[in-house]
Amino acid sequence: MITPRTLLLRLLGVAGIVLVVVTVCFALMHAVPGGPFDDGRDIDPAIKANLLARYDLDAPLPQQYVRYMGNVFLRGDLGPSLKLRDYSVNQVLAESLPVSMTLGVCALLVALAIGLGAGALAAARRGGWVDTLVMGGATLGISLPNFVIAGLLVLLFVFHWRLFPLTGLTSPAHLVLPSIALGLPFAASIARLFRTGLLEVLGEDWIRTARAKGLTGRAVLWRHAARPAMLPVVSFLGPALAGILSGSLVVEQIFAIPGMGSHFVDSALNADYYLASGVVIVYTVLVSTANLAVDLGYALLDPRVEGST
């Protein structure tokens, strides 16, 4: 199991990753050509100077860096939004983060439900047509990017059958198609991993002993084989969450969902430095925390995992 010392080192590692990301974001923020107020219009130099001073962009870069790092790490202040001038980055993220988190959780639940069910079905019917069909579907799901899946879902369930709404987020029905579009590629990977894990476990001697005691195939699979077979799936959840968060950038734009992904795309197009950096920082914290939680879950599922691993 993971020791307190190892947990502390992992937390320090997360803090180090965030420090590096904040530094890189600051460097890129000032390396891109142009600026947030260079939108093609002729701005009076005095007005532009006042705007730069208002947002602390007129100071020397080292001074800006120290001030920005202090605001982020000591005060938790991600700065003002340069385009949404009535809002700070913290306010924008406070409104959009729950939306993206809700979409991410729903997509992860879709991936787990479909992936575990399909993987178990394929393992139980190993070598048959069901196994071939499931694995073929999994290969197709891995190959298709989420924006292609989103387009197909829109064509079928919005324009053809008119079962779900297309844009916005005013009811639970609005979450169905985006969650499926985000979750299906990861469901395919989970199905393959879970099937492989189950086939390895089902060949163990202690599984044959359980069958010899008269347990049904379903009981053997879910009561005895599922937990150790979940280890590769748990290891995959960290990268899966990272993929779901990055995939939401596109899916939120397609379905007009007001989450962090939409704000990130808009901030990148509008050179809203602080907002773009704030979204990247929040994504980094979420992914790093998720990877840490995956390590803890792995240790809980398999007590043989040492704290040093």
* pLDDT tens column, 15-33: 899 899 989 988 888 887 7
pLDDT for the residue 98: 92
User: Is the CB of residue 245 less than 8 Å from the CB of residue 285?
Assistant: no
* 217 occurs within a structural domain: yes
Which positions ≥6 away from 53 have C-beta within 8 Å?
none
pLDDT tens per residue, range 50-84: 888 888 888 888 999 999 999 998 999 999 998 88
117, part of any domain: yes
CATH number of the domain to which 173 belongs: 1.10.3720.10
pLDDT at 40 over 60: no
In a domain, 200, yes or no: yes
Q: What is the mean pLDDT of residues 97-120?
A: 93
Classify residue 1: in a domain, yes or no. Answer: no
Judge whether 148 lies within some domain: yes
Task: Flag whether pLDDT at 308 surpasses 50.
Answer: no
- Which pLDDT score, from 0 to 100, does residue 306 have? 53
**For residue 178, what are the domain limits?**
99-271
Domain count, the chain: 1
Comparing 82 with 152, the larger pLDDT belongs to 152
Average pLDDT, rounded, for the chain: 86
d(CA 228, CA 207): 12
Q: Which residues contact 266 (CB under 8 A, 6 or more apart)?
A: 83, 272
Residues 248-273 have a mean pLDDT of: 86
pLDDT of residue 309: 42
pLDDT at 84: 82
Percent of the chain with pLDDT over 70: 94
48 occurs within a structural domain = no
pTM for this model (two decimals): 0.85
Distance CA 67, CA 137 (A): 52
Residue 277 included in any domain? no
Q: Say if residue 107's pLDDT is above 90.
A: yes
Tell me, letter by letter, the H, E, C secondary structure of 18-76: HHHHHHHHHHHHHHCCCCCCCCCCCCCHHHHHHHHHHCCCCCCHHHHHHHHHHHHHHHC
Between 238 and 104, the higher pLDDT residue: 104
Cβ 170 vs Cβ 164: under 8 Å: no
